[in-house]
Amino acid sequence: MWNAIRGLFEEDTDTSLRAQLEEAIDEHQGDAARNGDDANGGSDLSPAEVQMLKNLLHFSEHDADDVAIPRSEIVALDAACSWAELVATFAEHGHSRMPVYRDELDEVIGMMHIKDVFAIIAAGTPPPADWTTLMRQPLYVPQARGALDVLADMRANKTHLAIVVDEFSGTDGIITIEDLVEEIVGEIEDEHDEDPVEQVVEVSEGVWDADARAELDDVAEKVGDAQLAEVEEAVDTLGGLAFVLAEGVPQPGTVLDHPSGWTIEVTEGDETHVTRLRLHAPVPDDSEEGEDG
């Protein structure tokens, strides 16, 4: 069954079939819109169903790097932290699974599941002296592995967390099964998700406060300078850009210079990721203005 589904999306054998299916959906929607008058334009498919079908048809075009939560947004546990710190981290972030690293995020040695933590808390028993004995094994997948293959790996290994590694075996990001499902059905909000807030806010003239998760293209559009999103490395977020410019995880207080003239100040974060930054617009060159005048 799984091989049959996977075969439907193999790039070398079904490109024309995928295109034909998408064209058929578009033609059906067009005909229904011309002939119908109900909420769905006369179609037996709702707009949400149409979008999910199209997302499914293009699912195999994504690789692990496309769907992963970027390194800058990973919330992980240091193997050296105390049991109390571990519990507090789960309580603060509301995740059900977290990677565990030793010394640095590039050395992920396992993952912790909230069920294993809650079982000890609920029973009122003392935690093990070395809580890492409770760790489970995550998947490790290369950046280029197809999203469909990652989903198959998760099914086969009954594991819902994958660590995406780069060509140097460093940690590039993580993928949960929810991330893969969202590629098909769209964003899934739950009771732990916070209400959306503006990710880039101007605090004074030429100064912007920004969430590290903000997409570079959105940031560039917001501040009105496309150069801010121009970067050779494969990064999508402002936090990822800061990581590239610093050649590592920059700590709060670090000031980074962007080639465009913008200055990026790290205002919040920890040893594993950046959470907030402040953008300072380029300062006009008075001498050039004088020459132009």
In angstroms, the CA 64 to CA 139 distance is 12
| Chain length of the chain | 293
Query: What is the rounded average pLDDT of the residues 222-246?
Result: 84
User: Is the domain covering 66-185 a CATH 3.10.580.10 domain?
Assistant: yes
Alpha helices in 58-208 (DSSP H): 64-67, 83-93, 114-123, 147-157, 177-185
Helix, strand, or coil (residue 171)? strand
pLDDT in tens, 187-224: 766 555 555 568 889 889 889 999 888 888 888 888 88
Q: How confident is the model at residue 27 (pLDDT cuts 50, 70, 90)?
A: confident
Query: What is the rounded average pLDDT of the residues 243-255?
Result: 89
Q: How confident is the model at residue 286 (pLDDT cuts 50, 70, 90)?
A: low
Least confident among 21-35, 170-184, 241-255: 21-35
Select the more confidently predicted residue: 83 or 94.
83
140, 84, 68, 153: which is closest to 111 by C-alpha? 140
Query: What is the rounded average pLDDT of the residues 8-31?
Result: 68
- Domain range summary for the chain, segments of one domain joined by +: 2-61, 66-185, 200-280
| Cα atoms in the Cβ-side hemisphere of radius 13 Å centred on 240 | 25
User: Taking 80 as the threshold, does the pLDDT of residue 59 lie above it?
Assistant: yes
Q: What pLDDT does 1 receive?
A: 46
Q: How confident is the model at residue 134 (pLDDT cuts 50, 70, 90)?
A: very high
Q: What pLDDT does 37 receive?
A: 46
Q: Is-contact 242 213, C-beta < 8 A?
A: no
Q: How confident is the model at residue 14 (pLDDT cuts 50, 70, 90)?
A: very low
The residues near 241 (Cβ < 8 Å, ≥ 6 apart) are 216, 231, 235, 258, 264
Helix, strand, or coil (residue 143)? coil
The DSSP bridge pattern shows strands 161-165 and 139-142 to be parallel
Question: Quick one: which H or E segment has residue 52?
Answer: helix 47-57
Give 200-280's CATH code, choosing from 3.40.50.80, 3.30.465.10, 3.40.1190.10, 3.10.180.10: 3.30.465.10
Query: What is the rounded average pLDDT of the residues 113-117?
Result: 95
Count of other CB atoms within 10 angstroms of residue 87:
17
Percent of the chain with pLDDT over 90: 39
| Cα atoms in the Cβ-side hemisphere of radius 13 Å centred on 82 | 4
Q: What pLDDT does 226 receive?
A: 85
Select the more confidently predicted residue: 84 or 10.
84
What is the amino acid identity at position 57?
L
Query: What is the rounded average pLDDT of the residues 7-11?
Result: 52
Q: What pLDDT does 34 receive?
A: 64
Residues paired with 224 in a beta bridge:
none
User: Taking 90 as the threshold, does the pLDDT of residue 88 lie above it?
Assistant: yes
Looking up tokens 């006369």 gives 42
Looking up tokens 């780069």 gives 166
Phi, psi of 155, deg, nearest 5: -65, -45
User: Taking 90 as the threshold, does the pLDDT of residue 77 lie above it?
Assistant: yes
